[in-house]
Amino acid sequence: MPIAVGALLKIILIPAADGIEISGAYIFFTIPLPLGGLPITETQVNQWLVMLSLLFVCLYLTHGLKEIPDKKRQHLAEWIVEMTEKLVKSNMGEYFADFAPFIGAVLGLSAFSSLLSLTGLFPPTSDLNVTAGWAILVFILITYYKMKCGPIHYLKSFAEPVPFLAPLNMISEFATPVSMAFRHYGNILSGTVISVLLATALQGLSRLILGALPGFLGEIPLFRIGLPAVFSVYFDIFSGCLQAFIFAMLTMLYVAGGFPAEEYFKRQKQKKGKQKTSIKNLEVI
């Protein structure tokens, strides 16, 4: 239903283009603010439609859960949860087991946002603002876990393995969200552009070959029947799902890789030892 609403909005509000038109998200209206207008674009609307669709899917899969599953949707829901937890534990370890819902949300939101192009709607992942927002959120998580041993330990990590590499390490730190944002955005946008160009080229090829035929025979888009769907399997489905998986994998690897596990658990052990000593001293007193 949300996707149908999005298609209806596109038909009613967005004017039809003549020929090939590759542009950014359509701006529906702008909310005036003291520091500048806030544009409400096709990206924002479609992103909310995807989130609502995912919410309805989750509610459907988890409705009426039983201790012993007797419905296929519950089996599917349990399979998704188990596979996500397995993926997180194998890449991040037991300490990050609670990350499974977040990674599942990243995978679902990214994949379905990219697959929205199959319905003719603007995929939100074709907008750099969306992927950059996700990358900034991941960067905050990376920094948070890197600072688990305190800000001093975090700052010292820039001087590893040798101090003179500190400037390069700082550049690498801030390059992480930039590369994540542009990788996802660039692959989805390029796939959308290539699909449009191929469909238009096939239409021109049909006219070139069949244009000499009389009547409606010369207007049959022969080469646009089936072939665009074959190309879409890669540029829309495979590439979209692959980029979602890559973004989720990079999130897990960067967060878990930046976490100073050895030093953190060592400090936790020392704290527990001090607490036990303090308790024993109090008992003696």
Residue range 179-203: average pLDDT? 81
For residues 123 and 278, what is the distance between their CA atoms, to the nearest angstrom? 58
DSSP 104-143: HHHHHHHHHHHHGGGGTSPPGGGSHHHHHHHHHHHHHHHH
Q: Minimum mean pLDDT among 17-31, 124-138, 239-253: which range?
A: 17-31
Q: What is the pLDDT of residues 110-148, one digit of tens each?
A: 999 888 887 878 888 888 889 999 999 999 999 999 888
pLDDT band at 3 (very low <50, low <70, confident <90, very high): confident
Do 89 and 158 contact (CB within 8 A), yes or no? no
For residues 65 and 71, what is the distance between their CA atoms, to the nearest angstrom? 9
Coil vs helix vs strand at 68: coil
For residue 224, the model assigns a pLDDT of: 64
For residues 76 and 135, what is the distance between their CA atoms, to the nearest angstrom? 29
For residues 165 and 25, what is the distance between their CA atoms, to the nearest angstrom? 41
Do 42 and 117 contact (CB within 8 A), yes or no? no
pLDDT at 204 > cutoff 70:
yes
- From residue 274, alpha-carbon distances to 41, 148, 264, 277 in Å are 56, 19, 15, 5
Other Cβ atoms less than 10 A from the Cβ of 108: the count is: 20
Q: What is the pLDDT of residues 26-84, one digit of tens each?
A: 888 888 888 778 888 888 889 999 999 999 999 998 888 888 888 888 899 999 999 99
Higher pLDDT, 21 or 141: 141
Residue range 168-186: average pLDDT? 88
For residues 153 and 73, what is the distance between their CA atoms, to the nearest angstrom? 47
Question: How close are the terminal C-alpha atoms of the chain, in Å?
Answer: 69
Looking at the DSSP bridge assignments, the partners of residue 30 are 39
For residue 132, the model assigns a pLDDT of: 92
Residue 184: in which H helix or E strand, if any? helix 166-210
Residue 30 main-chain phi, psi, to 5 deg:
-125, 130
Region for residue 215 given its phi and psi (left: phi exceeds 0; alpha: psi -120 to 50; beta: otherwise): left
Higher pLDDT, 25 or 135: 135
For residue 187, the model assigns a pLDDT of: 83
Share of the chain above pLDDT 90, in %: 21
Q: What is the pLDDT of residues 90-100, one digit of tens each?
A: 998 888 989 99
For residues 114 and 49, what is the distance between their CA atoms, to the nearest angstrom? 13
Do 198 and 232 contact (CB within 8 A), yes or no? no
Q: What is the pLDDT of residues 72-88, one digit of tens each?
A: 888 999 999 999 999 99
pLDDT band at 284 (very low <50, low <70, confident <90, very high): low
DSSP code of residue 213: S
Coil vs helix vs strand at 280: helix
Buried b (16+ CB within 10 A) or exposed e, 63-74: eeeeeeeeeeeb
